[in-house]
């Protein structure tokens, strides 16, 4: 018996004992090709990079821990400099935490604090999008539009307003241009604000490229820019959740760079530390910081492990390696190659409805009927079966199930490390093809 509570009680997953590059090995000697960066788009530069290990060792030898209310530390300052230098204009201040859910909690609390400091405490409603995921803590669950995940906790969550996601495969009309669709999807925010009255709305939150719940659905051209305009017009804060799609995953340090839209608060996590340490961060716009500086002067935030020296040292080295090794260009290049291979292999597959995404953040939507886009019955559990079969084929992928109301099919998400080779891309596609054939 295991004393660890695993996700599925009564079923212990294999024990991983070695990880290097894109390959993992379990205690039985089986190897797995990691097509999704440690299972959740985390291990952005691959596993076992000795340069990160050296940075962690060096930091441990200097300072293991000192609470952030007593000291700052060198890696925390250097990492914030590194991020701020690359961030879209104005996002120059960094608030650290230990992961994505904490980052989203901190973003919500910060938005609330800003309106209190500006003397407008009635601005408290958050608008988010259906079929989204922003984390597992109660605040983050409150703004998540993934109903199965949030429903059991509904009585404990705060009230959020939801609009439909920007999800071209299902919501774009036949013959509608991408730009027209982007503008139409953004208009849903305008309508919701009018319904709620702007004076009560604190912030709008969305992922530039939706990961876990929609299998890499990117914002349509112009969508995020229009969203920014709407938020400015109504004096509403804009929060981008780049926990999964950020830190180079799309080929840009920040996914929203490609959309030329800058939020007030940007959350990042997974690829920030690349899995070498748990770490998340908020990039905060100067004008929000100015509000607090000229108001109470103090953040209403604080986690024990905020700006943890070892976590910051690891993340700093991971981010430096992305620059030194030219990994962003590589993401764009290899992402294109992976997309071409997926299109060549699955483009005509009767159960693959859509292949989408950006950079090395690609998803395929699995459907019962390609011509009508009818999803599989969610009770079939296609996504869970595919994950199990793929593991049996020695391949790690990230599948997620469709919605019960059929607004969304099952999908499989691929997000390999930015160091993925051409041969590994071929192998991912071969193993995925075998896994799909065995599942469907
Ligand atoms: N936001 C997004 C977009 C995510 O995909 C996730 C996790 O998958 C989170 C937030 C929560 O991050 P964490 O699991 O690190 O708490």
Does a structural domain hold residue 11? no
- pLDDT at residue 219 above 70? yes
In a domain, 414, yes or no: yes
pLDDT of 407 strictly over 90: no
Name the β-bridge partners of 33.
23, 395
- Give the pLDDT confidence score for residue 147 in this predicted structure: 84
Q: How many domains does the chain have?
A: 2
pLDDT per residue as tens digits for the range 233-249:
999 999 999 999 999 99
As a whole number of angstroms, the distance between CA 397 and CA 345 comes to 17
CA dist 190 and 233 (Å) reads 10
Other Cβ atoms closer than 10 A to 347: 10
For residue 402, the model assigns a pLDDT of: 74
203 within ligand 1 shell (Cβ under 6 A): no
CA 143 to centroid of ligand 1, rounded, Å:
12
Residue 305 is predicted with a pLDDT of 98
Does a structural domain hold residue 2?
no
Q: Is the C-beta atom of 113 inside 6 A of ligand 1?
A: no
Q: What is the CATH number of the domain that holds 335?
A: 3.90.1150.10
Strand, coil or helix: what is 344?
Answer: helix
Q: Are residues 228 and 287 in the same domain?
A: yes
Residue after which a domain boundary falls, among 324, 358, 375 = 324
Tell me, using a 6 A CB cutoff, whether residue 207 lines ligand 1: yes
**Residues 318, 203 share a domain:** yes
pLDDT, average across residues 89-100: 97
- For the Cβ of 145 lying below 6 angstroms from any atom of ligand 1, the answer is no
Compute the distance from residue 371 Cα to the ligand 1 centre, in Å: 33
Domain that residue 99 falls in: 53-324
Confidence of residue 404 (pLDDT cuts 50, 70, 90): low
Examine the predicted complex and report whether its ipTM is higher than 0.95: yes
Please report the atom of ligand 1 found closest to the CA of residue 280.
15
User: Is 417's pLDDT higher than 70?
Assistant: yes
Cα of 161 vs centre of ligand 1, distance in Å, is: 20
Q: Kindly give the number of the ligand 1 atom that is closest to the alpha carbon of 269.
A: 15
Any domain includes 412: yes
104 within ligand 1 shell (Cβ under 6 A): yes
5 within some domain: no
Query: Is 163 in the same domain as 86?
Result: yes
Cβ(309) – ligand 1 distance below 6 Å: no
Residue 96, SS3 per DSSP:
strand
**CA 123 – ligand 1 centroid, Å:** 25
Which SS3 state, helix, strand or coil, does residue 79 take?
helix
Helix axes 309-324, 74-86, angle to 10 degrees: 40
* E-only strand ranges, 174-264: 201-206, 209-210, 217-218, 237-241
Q: Are residues 80 and 221 in the same domain?
A: yes
What is the 134 CA–ligand 1 centroid distance (Å)?
5
Q: Is the pLDDT of residue 400 over 80?
A: yes
Q: What distance in angstroms lies between residue 102's CA and the mean position of ligand 1's atoms?
A: 9
- In this structure, the answer to whether residues 299 and 334 fall within a common structural domain is no
Mutate to test the pocket of ligand 1, among 244, 273, 399, 413 (most ligand atoms within 8 A of CB): 244
291/409 same-domain check: no
Q: How many other C-beta atoms are found inside a 10 Å radius of the C-beta of residue 29?
A: 8
- Which of 267, 263, 266, 264 has its CA nearest to residue 291? 264
pLDDT in tens, 149-205: 899 999 999 999 999 999 999 999 999 999 999 999 999 999 999 999 989 999 999
Using alpha carbons, select from 138, 261, 272 the residue that is nearest to residue 206: 261
Q: Is 211 in the pocket of ligand 1 (CB under 6 A)?
A: yes
- The helix/strand/coil state of 162 is strand
For the ranges 71-80, 356-365, 373-382, the lowest mean pLDDT is seen at: 373-382
Query: Taking the complete model, does pTM exceed 0.80, yes or no?
Result: yes
User: Which of the listed residues 324, 344, 370 is the one where a domain comes to its end?
Assistant: 324
- On whether both 313 and 338 belong to a single domain, the answer is no
pLDDT for 189 equals: 98
Give yes or no: residues 182 and 207 share one domain.
yes
Same domain, 399 and 298: no
H-state helical runs in 237-375: 270-273, 286-293, 309-324, 327-346
Taking residue 285's Cβ as centre, other Cβ atoms within 10 Å add up to: 23
pLDDT (tens digit, 9 = 90+) per residue, 299-338?
Answer: 999 999 999 999 999 999 999 999 999 999 999 999 999 9
Same structural domain, 387 and 432: yes
**Atom number of ligand 1 nearest to Cα 207:** 3
Is the domain of 39 the same as that of 152?
no
Q: Is 269 in the pocket of ligand 1 (CB under 6 A)?
A: yes
101 lines ligand 1 (CB under 6 A): yes
User: Which of residues 324, 342, 364 is at a domain's end?
Assistant: 324
Under the banding of pLDDT at 50, 70 and 90, the label for residue 279 is: very high
Flag the least confident range among 134-143, 207-216, 407-416: 407-416
Q: How far is the CA of 267 from the centre of ligand 1 (A)?
A: 10
């Amino acid at each position: 018996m295991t004393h660890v509570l695993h996700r599925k009680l009564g079923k212990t997953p294999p024990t991983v004992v070695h990880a290097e590059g894109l390959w993992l090995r379990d205690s039985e000697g089986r190897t797995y090709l990691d097509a999704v960066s440690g299972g959740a788009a985390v291990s952005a530069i691959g596993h076992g990079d000795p340069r990160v290990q050296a940075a962690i060792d060096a930091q441990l030898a200097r300072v293991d821990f000192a609470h952030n209310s007593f000291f700052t530390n060198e890696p925390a300052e250097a990492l914030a400099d590194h991020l701020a230098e690359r961030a879209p204009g104005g996002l120059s201040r960094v608030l650290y935490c230990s992961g994505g859910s904490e980052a989203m909690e901190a973003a919500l609390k910060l938005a609330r604090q800003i309106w209190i400091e500006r003397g407008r405490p009635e601005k408290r409603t958050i608008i988010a999008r259906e079929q989204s995921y922003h984390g597992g803590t109660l605040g983050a669950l409150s703004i998540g539009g993934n109903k199965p995940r949030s429903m059991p906790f509904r009585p404990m969550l705060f009230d959020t307003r939801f609009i439909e996601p920007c999800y071209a495969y299902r919501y774009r009309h036949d013959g509608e241009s991408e730009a027209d669709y982007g503008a139409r999807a953004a208009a849903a925010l305008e309508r919701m604000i009018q319904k709620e009255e702007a004076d009560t709305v604190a912030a709008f939150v969305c992922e530039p490229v939706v990961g876990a719940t929609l299998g890499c659905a990117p914002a349509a051209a112009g969508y995020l820019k229009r969203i920014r305009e709407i938020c400015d017009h109504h004096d509403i804060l804009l929060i981008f959740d780049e926990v999964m799609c950020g830190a180079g995953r799309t080929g840009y340090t920040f996914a929203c760079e490609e959309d030329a839209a800058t939020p007030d608060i940007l959350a990042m996590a997974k690829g920030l530390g690349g899995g070498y340490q748990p770490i998340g961060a908020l990039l905060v716009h100067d004008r929000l910081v100015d509000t607090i500086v000229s108001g109470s002067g103090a953040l209403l935030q604080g986690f024990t492990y905020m700006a943890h020296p070892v976590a910051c040292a690891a993340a700093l080295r991971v981010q430096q390696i992305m620059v030194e090794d030219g990994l962003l260009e590589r993401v764009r290049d290899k992402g294109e190659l992976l997309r071409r291979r997926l299109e060549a292999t699955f483009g005509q597959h009767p159960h693959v409805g859509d292949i989408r995404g950006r950079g090395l953040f690609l998803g395929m939507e699995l459907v019962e009927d390609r011509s009508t886009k009818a999803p599989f019955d969610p009770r079939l559990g296609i996504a869970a079966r595919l994950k199990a079969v793929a593991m049996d084929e020695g391949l790690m992928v990230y599948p997620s199930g469709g919605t019960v109301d059929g607004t969304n099919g099952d999908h499989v998400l691929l997000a390999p490390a930015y160091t993925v080779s051409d041969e590994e891309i071929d192998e991912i596609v071969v193993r995925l093809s075998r896994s799909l054939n065995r599942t469907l």
